[in-house]
Amino acid sequence: MRLILLGAPGAGKGTQATFIKEHYNIPQISTGDMLRVAVKAGSPLGIKAKHFMDSGELVPDDLIINLVKERLTEPDCINGYLFDGFPRTIPQAEAMKQAGVAIDYVVEIDVPFDEIIVRMSGRRVHPASGRTYHVKFNPPKVEGKDDVTGEPLVQRDDDKEETVRKRLDVYVAQTRPLVDYYADWAAHSAEGSPVKAPQYRKISGTGSVEAIRQRVVEALK
Ligand code: AP5
Ligand code: ZN
């Protein structure tokens, strides 16, 4: 299984990815998680990425494309992969197509923006694993602690309301055009592309985490 989870910041991509990656035994390739690791480690990539992330802007395409291409050479990608938060610009999607990176499904998770603001304000994460909780909608078993390791949960630096609004603007301007991009590709799939067009599935991302999980399962049948 090779798929892309597409959706606005806070749509629940990371939350659903936790289940999908276990179900299909594939790695979750979250460019956001990888960048946060790089920032924390103070690597050259992290140093370049930090101010873009803190201001809610996208990190430049060339850095992201190289990061993902390198990740795809690791042996755990042999059975497939789940892209979470990537691609999020047309040039990123085009670079994957040109590199012959195959995708079976693009699953768009659709959530109204006013609900997203509420979700982000209560989000807590376990930085080492990327596991995500919400203080009210998806609480950990023990308050403030990761369910698996018991380690402390933290709030993300870019979850301040003004930064969330900026990220939503960036999503509309730079990532939402991918919806048409994949639809057009599917409609003209015979025209000399190095890889087959993915199937496009749009699901509603409102309701319980479990209800959305069921929709994902249905969408991938
Ligand atoms: P990234 O980490 O990818 O953030 P994002 O796309 O903005 O998405 P989020 O992680 O915020 O949301 P999510 O959809 O995963 O939602 P979640 O499951 O956590 O990117 C961060 C930054 O890195 C970017 O701004 C950019 O600077 C940079 N970057 C990353 N990739 C890049 C790329 N490809 N190109 C350029 N720059 C890049 O859920 C959110 C909350 O809602 C949680 O609290 C969760 O518990 C809760 N929740 C989930 N489902 C439900 C539900 N059904 N009901 C109620 N609450 C729910
Ligand atoms: Zn995420």
62's tokens: 């060339």
In which domain, by residue range, is 92 found?
2-111+173-219
- Number of domains the chain contains: 1
**35, 116, 170 from 20: Cα distances, Å:** 21, 21, 26
Q: Which one is predicted more confidently, 136 or 194? A: 136
Which residue has its alpha carbon closest to ligand 1 atom 20?
32
pLDDT on residue 130: 86
Domain-embedded: residue 26: yes
Domain-embedded: residue 102: yes
Domain-embedded: residue 127: no
Percent of the chain with pLDDT over 70: 99
- Ligand 1 contact, 58 CB (< 6 A): yes
SS3 content of the chain, % helix, strand, coil (to 5): 50, 15, 35
Domain-embedded: residue 199: yes
**Can you tell me the mean pLDDT for 188-214?**
87
- Only one residue has tokens 């990061």, namely 67
Q: Which one of the ligands is nearest to 122 CA?
A: 1
Which residue has its alpha carbon closest to ligand 1 atom 50?
12
pLDDT on residue 191: 65
pLDDT on residue 215: 96
List the CATH number of the domain containing 196.
Answer: 3.40.50.300
- Ligand 1 contact, 53 CB (< 6 A): yes
pLDDT on residue 183: 85
**45, 65, 115, 153 from 201: Cα distances, Å:** 33, 24, 21, 32
Q: Which residues contact 184 (CB under 8 A, 6 or more apart)?
A: none
Query: Could you give the angle at the alpha carbon of 29 between the alpha carbons of 27 and 35, nearest 5°?
Result: 140
Residue closest to 63 by CA, chosen among 76, 47, 75, 77 = 47
The predicted-structure confidence for 76-128, as pLDDT tens digits, reads as follows: 999 899 999 999 999 999 999 999 999 999 999 999 999 999 999 899 999 88
Domain-embedded: residue 126: no
Domain-embedded: residue 21: yes
Catalytic (active-site) positions: 13, 88, 123, 156, 167
Domain-embedded: residue 119: no
What atom of ligand 1 comes closest to residue 124's alpha carbon?
A: 44
Q: Which pTM value belongs to this model?
A: 0.94
106's tokens: 């693009």
Residue closest to 70 by CA, chosen among 104, 103, 94, 34 = 34
pLDDT above 90 (res 41): yes
pLDDT above 90 (res 69): yes
Domain-embedded: residue 150: no
- Ligand 1 contact, 197 CB (< 6 A): no
